[in-house]
Structure 1
């Protein structure tokens, strides 16, 4: 029997999927709320299209995961391409299970499902897009995906997307329009989070706390973009808008982030 086993997500192993990413934060009350949001989202996806994730087990323990979904179900996108599958993340945080090819197995197993018309109910997958952000752990996702044959899109899909053809060629997404300042966004902050990742809500809370350090009295609105996609769409999918200005600095770079927030409030 192989020490590595892959399973599609179902109602019985949702907690295993959550454990992979959240095993160090299971007792954190804010993170628990993020987990509950994702738990609800996963059940919604299972009821609508079946598995949207695969879990890797090593010696019976859940150690890795890949999360994916069709672009057609992305509520915050105005223009959606048919036959396009997004990989939201691949993650294996356990040292004892690294360098065993688990991440590769997860991706290759998903690509095989795509070729056979078994991914999220899609009979045809033209190409797969992966969010190739850098977690700072082990091999960077851009390098990981490139080793698996993923390529840079010929057009600017977004800053960290790589693609792999399955049954068709890459199809560019229409150019994204820039944010137009909204009168309702002045003199306040609007923070977005997504239930697709259990870290998104805790990050939104952390962002709110950092803004409070700069402007204690500033009204701050935190919005679930899955439940209120129209709010994200009219702000052109920016994750944070302060005083009608998008913020671009990642919040983990705290001083730079707070400086940009301060500049937005002063202008």
Structure 2
């Protein structure tokens, strides 16, 4: 099977979206996620060059890898210009384990080594249901290693120099009421999960105001709060420790933050 890899360009934007979105239901949250994702991809193309590569088989887009320099993240206080972040990679289920993902990463690695801009490539391995081959396992097959003192999914591919320890997000509390969802527009499912977070917050208190803040478009508030992750939820001025993927603990923490305030 022949795999062709291409850098993302304006003419390939719909191909890029289709890799993740073609088989998903048409819902307002997915449509909003696609709109914001396209805007973000266009911005990255203008400001830093291609933030994604696409894999093609028989002229059909079947996979992608998405990446960006740490220095391009607008809400970070002190970004490392030598670090490249791989946000995710995905290949259609029917074509997994056939070399598409490997071809995508090897193409990116060749670019990194040729250009000499980055000393390391970092990623967070995550394995959402329905996505097939576990990403953490895949990245380790590609040569990524767990960061010293890091969690099992905090991975790094060292191009030059030595491994680095992870820098965990430690957002600060502020004096405010209500809930705020800080997010990055880098995934078409962002608002699908934002909707679930808002629904859970309102199931605890139906009257609480909930605001969503796109940290790439409005980075100042996230920077002031020292948010360094791609998503962070505040309830009554306190950053939450649990995510929507830990639903019961997420809901219990909301209840505690609302009742204690």
Q: Same fold (TM over 0.5)?
A: yes
Matches for 1:37-76 after TM superposition, within 5 Å: 37-76=36-75
Q: Aligned to 1:183, which of 175, 178, 193?
A: 175
Matches for 1:92-241 after TM superposition, within 5 Å: 92=91, 94-117=92-115, 123-136=116-129, 137-156=131-150, 160-172=153-165, 178-184=170-176, 187-237=177-227, 239-241=232-234
TM-score norm. by structure 1 comes to: 0.88
Q: Deviations over 1:6-42 (max 9, x none)?
A: 1110010011111111112362222111111110111
Where has structure 1 moved over 6 Å in runs of 4 or more?
none
Residues 33 and 201, structure 1, Cα contact 8 Å, conserved in 2: yes
Matches for 1:6-85 after TM superposition, within 5 Å: 6-25=5-24, 27-85=26-84
Question: Following the alignment from structure 2 to structure 1, what is the Cα–Cα distance between the partners of residues 248 and 168?
Answer: 29
Question: Following the alignment from structure 2 to structure 1, what is the Cα–Cα distance between the partners of residues 168 and 154?
Answer: 15
1:223, distance to aligned residue in structure 2 (A): 0.6
Question: Following the alignment from structure 2 to structure 1, what is the Cα–Cα distance between the partners of residues 154 and 43?
Answer: 25
1:47, distance to aligned residue in structure 2 (A): 1.2
Matches for 1:225-264 after TM superposition, within 5 Å: 225-237=215-227, 239-264=232-257
Residues 202, 74 of structure 1: CA spacing in aligned structure 2 closer, same or farther, 3 A cutoff? same
CA root-mean-square deviation: 2.0
1:159, distance to aligned residue in structure 2 (A): 7.1
Q: Which ranges of structure 1 fall in alignment gaps of 5 or more residues?
A: 118-122
Question: Following the alignment from structure 1 to structure 2, what is the Cα–Cα distance between the partners of residues 74 and 179?
Answer: 16
Q: Deviations over 1:151-178 (max 9, x none)?
A: 112254x7732111113333456x5573
1:45, distance to aligned residue in structure 2 (A): 1.0
Greater mean alpha carbon deviation, residues 251-260 or residues 70-79: 251-260
Greater mean alpha carbon deviation, residues 229-238 or residues 140-149: 229-238
1:89, distance to aligned residue in structure 2 (A): 0.3
Residues 190 and 242, structure 1, Cα contact 8 Å, conserved in 2: yes
Greater mean alpha carbon deviation, residues 105-114 or residues 132-141: 132-141
